[in-house]
Structure 1
Amino acid sequence: MKPRPLAAAATTVALVAAGLTVTTGTAVAHGHGYSALIQRASYGVPHITARDFASLGYGVGYAQAEDNICLIAEQMVTVNAQRSRWFGADARNVSSDLFHQKAIDDRSAERWLVGRRDGVRAPSDEVRDQVRGFAAGYNAYLRRAGNEITDPACAGKEWVRPITELDMWRANWARMVRASSGALADGIVAAAPPTAGGTSAPASAPQAEAVVAAADGAPAGVGSNAYGLGRDATASGAGMLLANPHFPWDGGERFYRMHLTVPGRYDVEGAALVGDPIVEIGHNGRVAWSHTVSTARRFVWHRLALVPGDPTSYLYDGQPRKMTSRTVTVQTSAGPVSRTLFDTHFGPVVVVPGTFDWTAQAAYAITDANAANNRALDGWLAMGRATSVGELRAVLDRRQFLPWVNVVAADRDGRALYADHSVVPRVTGPLAAACIPAPFQPLYASSGQAVLDGSRSSCELGRDPDAAVPGILGPANLPALVRTDYVTNSNDSYWLANPARPLEGYPRIIGDERTQRSLRTRLGVLQVQQRLAGTDGLRGTRFTTGKLWDVTLGNRAYGGELVRDDLVRVCEAQPAATASDGTTVDLAAACPALRGWDLKVDLDSRGAHLFTEFALAGGLRFADAYDPAAPLTTPSRLAVEDPRVRTALADAVRKLAGIPLDARLGDVQTEPRGTARIPIHGGRAEAGVFNMIIGVFQPGVGYPKIRHGTSFLMAVELGRDGPSGRQILTYSQSANPNSPWYADQTRLYSAKSWDTVKFTQKQLRADPNLVTYRVGERR
């Protein structure tokens, strides 16, 4: 499908958003309409240039719609509370709709647009123009495509419709609360006063384990690795960055590669989540940055002491306060569904049966620190204009916009930055000591989940003097580190961003310190240390972008390096074991499969899937204790006497029945593209794999579909002649099976190959596949 130019259209479309009349057919700044130049490079990556931010947004909306119109259209169905109307009235869709309808009724997105347009109190004119332009560009493509959308996921579907500026802000709001209200949406929808003699626990309420796990720091199912390399770690002395986010391979949280330019004002190459108008992970000419999901909490609980005899009133400084109730109604394919939802001055009431119940004596509300975070798009815009890690850190300090991620960055002068300057509720040490009731102190110590006494005004979150807004920790209370060697993060806390300079003494709500690190974190640091020591088998002692790529896709399974030999001995000592269901499993084929495994998760690695399932079954149990003085090397010895080790191996063999235990990983782990199955390397973090890939298991087959893992992968160097390096989108640019860009990068990833950084016009024009066209519309 070769893109064609859009003929200029004399179209002015008036939309009503946020209570204002907004013209989307013209660029606000210039009044000349929209005009964007799109240069499509190899693999369909658009390089978009426009004279202003309205036209830039227009070009982004048009290009993204060309490639992923169904993904964006479905996002808009979700945030407009219409999933159960179009996709079925199952419990999950109804709960989603009720949650989003509540946000619509609360005018959550509209409130974001009120206030001074400085990018902190309210979005700036530049960002509003971008958002407005994106909607107009998407609509322009939809008009042009008409009934000829080629993606079978939404071709001919009534739910594909023009979008508005307000739709975009609703989608942005939903992104911000992904790790807070969004993770607890089922509990918000299920919250209801107790019946006589009981507690609130409707059948549709989420189980405690599921809700707490989803809210446990990071959003469920996402993660990342990142390296920031300074001048002491690179061959050239320039800064270098590895971006390696782990996100879903399908749906609305796919990344999209793009390069956006407003000459003299903004010039950034990288990737954004589909449906977002700004680059979120990427680089300009002097600075590169990536994000990893942070361990910090995004909400706090408030325990409400209820007024006797009135479970919808709570005591606050000794005086009763009435909860606010609202009946929310959504239209489903089976008819209307209504639910009464409850709010307090802290925020919504939430139930988690067995953990946070609504009884006659107590209920629980949350304060979501991201519910008012309207700063993110301006924050990423400002990041893209930074010229050093110092300037980038100043952006983080002033705007405090990152919803649930860390920053790892590097600049041309060879400095590297780690910072968890994300949005974190202001739970300081003194507040936690004074306001978390004794029964909840262990929960806070172990997980960072703060349950505050909601009956006292002295236990409100308050304000740090340097915080961008009330209720969140200011920059002085947040961890950051600048180095000239390296910083790294793989979703553990900030503590060992660089082991030579541990970050300590921060509020527990941000993360833990001096605790055991994951095998993925340990391998991530070890890989850098071995590269700088010249002990990783590669030439030299510093990084180039090529060596950074090779290290990232080296596909080491650190858990196997530690315990495989001992596991083989356990297996060979008694080649039969009892599985967890009590059955006896023959291990005769498992022992040689493990012994022959190359300790990697490459396509040719035989037996890797067996070790993965052993790890997932809980077999990685260690005999030695964790030592906080040696956090990168302990624990390390397999607990060979622990019977659960043998049970886990038996469970793994049993689960893999019908699949050869010594099969090549590339034969059992694949990604479908049309009738082809593309072999996929990488593996599970539980096995200590850095290049994380999670497949969907199918008995007797293996992993014929990738669920999530390595997605946008970039190794970029900020040299004196401009940025250079390698990048790839593992699942390819388009989700449309009829697009030419549906499988090309997936095949590249399978071969460990890459696309090059194309930041300069010289780099771009050297691309033999370059196609250029202009999109726009006039009044």
Structure 2
Amino acid sequence: MSRRRLAAAATVVGLAAASLTVTGSTAVAYGDGYSALIQRASYGVPHITARDFASLGFGAGYVQAEDNICLIAERMVTVRAERSRWFGADGNVSSDLFHQKAIDDQVAEKLLDGPHDGVRAPSTQVRDQVRGFAAGYNAYLRDGKATTDPACAGKEWVRPISELDMWRAQWADMVLVSSGGLADGIVAAAPPTASGNSMSASAPPGAVVTGSEGTATDLGSNAYGLGRDATTSGAGMLLANPHFPWDGADRFYRMHLKVPGRYDVEGAALVGGPTIQIGHNGQVAWSHTVSTAKRYVWHRLELVPGDPTSYRYDGEPRKMTARTVTVQTPDGPVSRTLYDTHFGPVVVVPGALDWTTTTAYAITDANATNNRALDGWLAMGQAGSVGELRTVLDERQFLPWVNVVAVDRRGQALYADHSVVPRVTDSLAAACIPAPFQDLYESEGEAVLDGSRSSCELGRDPDAAVPGILGPANLPTLVRSDYVTNSNDSYWLANPEHPLEGYPRIVGDEQTQRSLRTRLGVHQVQQRRTGTDGLPGRGFTTSNLWDVTLGNRAYGGELVRDDLVRSCEAQPTATTSDGATVDLTAACAALRGWDLRVDLDSRGAHLFTEFALAEGLRFADSFDPTAPLTTPSRLAVADPEVRTALADAVQKLEGIPLDARLGDIQTEPRGAERIPIHGGHDDAGVFNLIHGGFEPGVGYSKIVHGTSFLMAVELGSDGPSGRQILTYSQSTNPNSPWYADQTRLYSGKGWDTIKFTQRQLRADPNLVTYRVGERRD
């Protein structure tokens, strides 16, 4: 490594590591201390090689702190139940009480102290990775360089982290869409007063106990698993297209992790994660999409008369456990009494599931004891085929709330919803869901069980990894040589030629209407295979897979735009939902001139988006389960709500030209720069999902969430190859060179290449190599 390049690298990323002497591309570490080789490629993507998993974790923790220290530090503030202390009580007390209860209950400690009660102890390798990650993060802090990110520079809450902090954060990720999503209801649950009102004398005044740290619930993704019959080479090919927040703790981070001979995976993890969650090795590639399955069940409790904190179970009274939890705020301590049953915490949903003098509701969270995920992802990264990966899924059952779509080098494609799902079989549902809640189960998959009978406990499937969850035989799996796909609808049409049916309702619905995004996703695969999509040839390459993904078709517009324009032109005035009369002349012209895409140059796309968001996409024909990809399809032009939605859209867009270029009004700020962003809303049937925050008179001035880590990888005979990008860039630090570079690249539909082999890495002209390390305690 040249002195010039080393000096430049030190200036840009701060390479000097504690307890380590850097000499070219080698380093001298003390004793058996941590030592990791970092190869920073274009766009700041680290390729980390270490001799063991502890040092691998150290390298990952160090580079992630270099790029995103504020995100990780804030995440640790959350799981330490200190948001109110550092950021104020408003919107944070509920989160703090939820996490403080987990701390008081020693949830993380119990998950590490397995095996017991269905808990498996994490492996030595995973413990080492977690320990190393914390050490790497802390080493970056001890290097003495001031944090340059203004979001947290000089802040007292940026402190060293512990292994226990890491495990608490991992638990929070597991319960993100279950207990975590119900945190407000857990904190608010209180027995009724003498008058029968559900209130608590210990509740803090006002509306302090509301809100959380802003955890995103609108997560989603697209994924294609393309087998040998769908690719021009005959090798497996994967599209990974998760739709996640562009800001906050749920951002992805690109990296490549390698322990020679044991683990070698390139891809992405959520910031603060020590291992790859979406990615590929040399033989297998995989992605995840958010599953429709439920993660918890409700138990309706029959309360003991005169004692609303006791419930009957098999005819005998059981006392709830009351725990007083206290957190610190700038205005002093706040305490709340929280209640548990043997099922789990008591939860209220005001107006729906209230705590009365006769009835209360508790949940069992199937992910509350899931400490298997890090080991599961590690094992996925070591799989050599789709068959081996399926065995990992079957034996470990660790995916908390996502499907998996995968391919292998031999051209096999896999779809599986082998996520953690409470064991609600059809027979249990029929026997144990009270009549008033049967319709809720059939329509939404929400199970409210009779909590007064032991016969209504979840039980255990003989093939399940732990008690209380569905075993692999009760979960949908499909292996194909053509393709599988998922865009957040249920498993039913993972491949329309082989519908998956007959699974418990709690996993997902069958023979029901699919989203426009799901339908377009399947159409794109089918049309590419037959060569009818307007692109050259037929079959997939990584190049045309990228083009298809970023083709930015708005399927809803393809179906109804012409009918909408005819209706609009025939009667160019309409009334909004609040009674105002709107002239639609400009709207008719803008829609007629729209190219039916959400590209930067598309004019009028935002008008159709707002029409769709106003629930204007109403269809005249019904869904036909025998034609699920083409029905419904005809605009209900006679429905007055269609015209009202268009009028509402025009009214909302006041001050914004209705024929504006999308790239002029949909942007992402990077300092003073505003980067134009293509993509659109799934309500309009867009595959490349982008949701922007709307600013009246301006447009979508900040991207909220959508396409994040995007990867098209082929597992060819010469090794993995293809394209990838992190749309919001690698670092949140505005002073980092990797703060906006990939965002600009995405704006132009560009890409970074797969760099899995040393040959691919060495071809990168921007490669910088250094080592980090320190003595182990």
TM-score by length of 1: 0.95
Deviation readout 1:244-283 (Å, 9 max, x if unpaired): 0000000110000000000000000000000000000000
Q: Which residues of structure 1 form unaligned runs of 5+?
A: 12-25
User: Is the CA contact 1:201–1:353 (under 8 Å) kept in the aligned structure 2?
Assistant: no
SS in 2 for 1:554: coil
Deviation at 1:533, TM superposition (A): 1.1
What is the one-letter code of the residue matched to 2:411? G
What is the one-letter code of the residue matched to 1:62? Y
Deviation at 1:3, TM superposition (A): 2.6
2:532 to 528, 532, 535: 535
Question: What does residue 129 of structure 2 align with?
Answer: 130
Equivalents in 2 of 1:274, 1:4: separation in Å?
A: 20
User: Is the CA contact 2:18–2:142 (under 8 Å) kept in the aligned structure 1?
Assistant: no
**Structure 1 residue 583 and structure 2 residue 580: aligned?**
yes
Equivalents in 2 of 1:2, 1:700: separation in Å?
A: 39
**Structure 1 residue 244 and structure 2 residue 254: aligned?**
no
Deviation at 1:143, TM superposition (A): 1.0
Equivalents in 1 of 2:518, 2:457: separation in Å?
A: 35
**Structure 1 residue 3 and structure 2 residue 13: aligned?**
yes
Deviation at 1:7, TM superposition (A): 4.1
Question: What does residue 189 of structure 2 align with?
Answer: 191
Q: 1:351 to 1:561 in 2, by over 3 A?
A: same
Equivalents in 1 of 2:607, 2:209: separation in Å?
A: 33
**Structure 1 residue 747 and structure 2 residue 757: aligned?**
no
Deviation readout 1:305-331 (Å, 9 max, x if unpaired): 000000000000000000000000000
1:501 to 494, 498, 501: 498
- Identity percentage of aligned residues: 82
User: Is the CA contact 1:241–1:288 (under 8 Å) kept in the aligned structure 2?
Assistant: yes
SS in 2 for 1:352: coil
Deviation at 1:198, TM superposition (A): 2.5
Q: What does 1:310-349 align with in structure 2 at a 5 Å threshold?
A: 310-349=307-346
Equivalents in 2 of 1:581, 1:744: separation in Å?
A: 44
Equivalents in 1 of 2:660, 2:266: separation in Å?
A: 40
User: Is the CA contact 1:726–1:756 (under 8 Å) kept in the aligned structure 2?
Assistant: yes
Deviation readout 1:615-653 (Å, 9 max, x if unpaired): 000100000000000000000000000000000000000
Q: What does 1:431-510 align with in structure 2 at a 5 Å threshold?
A: 431-510=428-507
Query: How many residues of Structure 1 are paired with residues of Structure 2 in the alignment?
Result: 753
Q: 1:205 to 1:291 in 2, by over 3 A?
A: farther
Equivalents in 1 of 2:31, 2:607: separation in Å?
A: 62
Deviation readout 1:2-57 (Å, 9 max, x if unpaired): 2343345299xxxxxxxxxxxxxx99xx9701000000000000000000000000
Question: What does residue 168 of structure 1 align with?
Answer: 166
**Structure 1 residue 547 and structure 2 residue 544: aligned?**
yes
Deviation at 1:506, TM superposition (A): 0.1
Q: What does 1:42-53 align with in structure 2 at a 5 Å threshold?
A: 42-53=42-53
User: Is the CA contact 2:16–2:772 (under 8 Å) kept in the aligned structure 1?
Assistant: yes
1:604 to 579, 601, 604: 601
2:156 to 143, 155, 158: 158
What is the one-letter code of the residue matched to 1:61? G
SS in 2 for 1:161: coil
Deviation at 1:334, TM superposition (A): 1.2
User: Is the CA contact 2:228–2:235 (under 8 Å) kept in the aligned structure 1?
Assistant: yes
Equivalents in 1 of 2:409, 2:548: separation in Å?
A: 22
Question: What does residue 87 of structure 2 align with?
Answer: 87
User: Is the CA contact 1:316–1:455 (under 8 Å) kept in the aligned structure 2?
Assistant: yes
What is the one-letter code of the residue matched to 1:3? V
Deviation at 1:205, TM superposition (A): 9.9
SS in 1 for 2:378: helix
**Structure 1 residue 413 and structure 2 residue 410: aligned?**
yes
**Structure 1 residue 261 and structure 2 residue 271: aligned?**
no
Deviation at 1:128, TM superposition (A): 0.2
Equivalents in 2 of 1:576, 1:201: separation in Å?
A: 50
Question: What does residue 757 of structure 1 align with?
Answer: 754
SS in 1 for 2:13: coil
User: Is the CA contact 1:302–1:452 (under 8 Å) kept in the aligned structure 2?
Assistant: yes
Deviation at 1:199, TM superposition (A): 3.4
SS in 1 for 2:585: coil
Q: 1:204 to 1:370 in 2, by over 3 A?
A: farther
User: Is the CA contact 2:18–2:139 (under 8 Å) kept in the aligned structure 1?
Assistant: no
User: Is the CA contact 1:6–1:776 (under 8 Å) kept in the aligned structure 2?
Assistant: no
SS in 1 for 2:32: coil
Question: What does residue 682 of structure 2 align with?
Answer: 685
Deviation at 1:400, TM superposition (A): 0.3
User: Is the CA contact 1:134–1:277 (under 8 Å) kept in the aligned structure 2?
Assistant: yes
Equivalents in 1 of 2:547, 2:661: separation in Å?
A: 21
Question: What does residue 69 of structure 1 align with?
Answer: 69
Equivalents in 1 of 2:748, 2:144: separation in Å?
A: 34
Question: What does residue 275 of structure 1 align with?
Answer: 272
User: Is the CA contact 1:440–1:451 (under 8 Å) kept in the aligned structure 2?
Assistant: yes
Deviation at 1:204, TM superposition (A): 4.6
Equivalents in 2 of 1:177, 1:289: separation in Å?
A: 22
Deviation readout 1:648-686 (Å, 9 max, x if unpaired): 000000000000000000000000011110000000000
User: Is the CA contact 1:695–1:704 (under 8 Å) kept in the aligned structure 2?
Assistant: yes
Question: What does residue 104 of structure 2 align with?
Answer: 105
Question: What does residue 351 of structure 2 align with?
Answer: 354
**Structure 1 residue 143 and structure 2 residue 153: aligned?**
no
Equivalents in 2 of 1:738, 1:284: separation in Å?
A: 33
Question: What does residue 22 of structure 1 align with?
Answer: none
Q: What does 1:701-720 align with in structure 2 at a 5 Å threshold?
A: 701-720=698-717
Equivalents in 1 of 2:286, 2:361: separation in Å?
A: 38
